[in-house]
C-alpha cells in the first residue's frame, strides 16, 4: 500500500478510500488501542465518525479518546456520535441488511453536503449473537457493504470477538472483508471473496 488514502491512526500505512476492514480480537487492551487510534484519526481528519457500541460503554469510549488528547464536546455533535449497536443495526427491532446499507449511503450523502472529508464507522458485532430477528443475515450485510458504489471517502471497521464467535463463523467473516487487522497492522486479506463470488450460506 502507498501513502494515498485514509489514515487509520494505528499504523503508518494508509488504506485506499472506500474500504471495509475487520478486526478479530481476543485481547481487550489491544482492541482498545486500535479502536481509539482509529476513531481519533477520523476526528482529526474531519471525518463524520460513528461508533456503534454493544458491550463498551459510551463513557469508556469518551475516556479513551480524551486520554489520546482528543477534545470532545460536552454533548455529542453530528461529527462524532456513539450509538447503541442494536439501534443502529436493528432500528425496527429486526435486522434488515439492505436498510442498514441504505442508511450508510444516506450518511455519505449528508456528510458530503456538510463538507466532511470522509465517513468513518466502527461497530461492535456482538449484538448479532442475541438472536435478534434477521441477525442470521449478518454475512449478507457484510457482502452488501463491499458492493456499495458511492465514491465518498469512507472506511468501516467491524469488530468480532474471537471468544464469542465460533471458528466457522469467523472464517466466513474473514472472507467478506477486503482488509484485516493482523498484529496491529492493516493487511490485504488473502481470504477475501468478492461480492460476485461470495456464497457463504
pLDDT tens digits along 3-17 = 578 999 999 999 999
pLDDT at residue 77, rounded to an integer: 76
Contact yes or no for 89/26 (Cβ under 8 A): no
Structural domain containing residue 123 = 6-188
* CATH, residue 107: 3.40.50.300
Q: Which parts of the chain register pLDDT below 50? A: 1-2
Q: Is residue 194 part of a domain?
A: no
Strand order of the sheet with strand 19-25? 80-84, 47-53, 118-124, 154-161, 19-25, 179-182, 185-188
* Short-list 81, 82, 176, 90, CA closest to 130: 90
Whether 53 is in a domain gets the answer yes
CA-nearest of 90, 167, 99, 153 to 123 is: 90
Answer yes or no: is 141 within a domain: yes
Q: Is residue 193 part of a domain?
A: no
Whether residue 92 is contained in a domain is answered as: yes
pTM above 0.85, yes or no: yes
* pLDDT at residue 199 in the model: 65
Q: How many CB atoms lie within 10 A of CB 161?
A: 19
Whether residue 112 is contained in a domain is answered as yes
With respect to residue 45, please indicate whether it lies within any of the assigned structural domains. Answer: yes
Distance of CA 156 to the CA centre of its chain: 3
> Per the structure, how many domains does the chain have?
1
Is position 13 within any domain?
Answer: yes
Residue 68 in contact with residue 141, Cβ under 8 Å?
Answer: no
Amino acid at each position: 500500500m502507498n501513502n494515498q488514502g485514509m489514515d487509520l491512526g494505528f499504523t503508518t500505512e494508509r488504506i485506499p478510500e472506500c474500504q471495509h476492514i475487520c478486526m478479530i480480537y481476543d485481547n481487550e487492551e489491544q482492541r482498545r488501542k486500535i479502536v481509539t487510534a482509529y476513531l481519533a484519526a477520523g476526528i482529526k481528519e474531519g471525518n463524520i465518525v460513528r461508533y456503534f457500541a454493544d458491550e463498551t460503554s459510551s463513557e469508556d469510549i469518551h475516556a479513551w479518546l480524551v486520554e489520546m488528547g482528543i477534545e470532545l464536546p460536552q454533548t455529542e455533535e453530528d461529527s462524532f456520535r456513539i450509538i447503541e449497536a442494536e439501534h443502529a443495526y436493528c432500528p425496527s427491532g429486526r435486522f434488515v441488511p439492505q436498510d442498514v446499507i441504505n442508511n450508510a449511503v444516506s450518511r455519505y450523502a449528508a456528510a458530503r453536503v456538510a463538507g466532511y472529508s470522509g465517513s468513518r464507522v466502527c461497530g461492535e458485532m456482538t449484538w448479532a449473537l442475541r438472536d435478534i430477528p434477521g441477525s442470521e443475515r449478518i454475512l449478507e450485510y457484510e457482502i452488501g457493504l463491499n458492493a456499495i458504489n458511492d465514491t465518498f471517502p469512507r472506511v468501516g471497521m467491524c469488530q468480532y470477538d474471537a471468544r464469542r464467535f465460533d471458528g466457522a463463523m469467523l472464517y466466513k467473516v474473514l472472507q467478506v472483508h477486503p482488509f484485516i487487522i493482523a498484529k496491529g497492522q492493516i493487511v490485504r486479506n488473502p481470504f477475501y471473496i468478492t461480492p460476485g463470488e461470495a456464497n457463504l450460506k
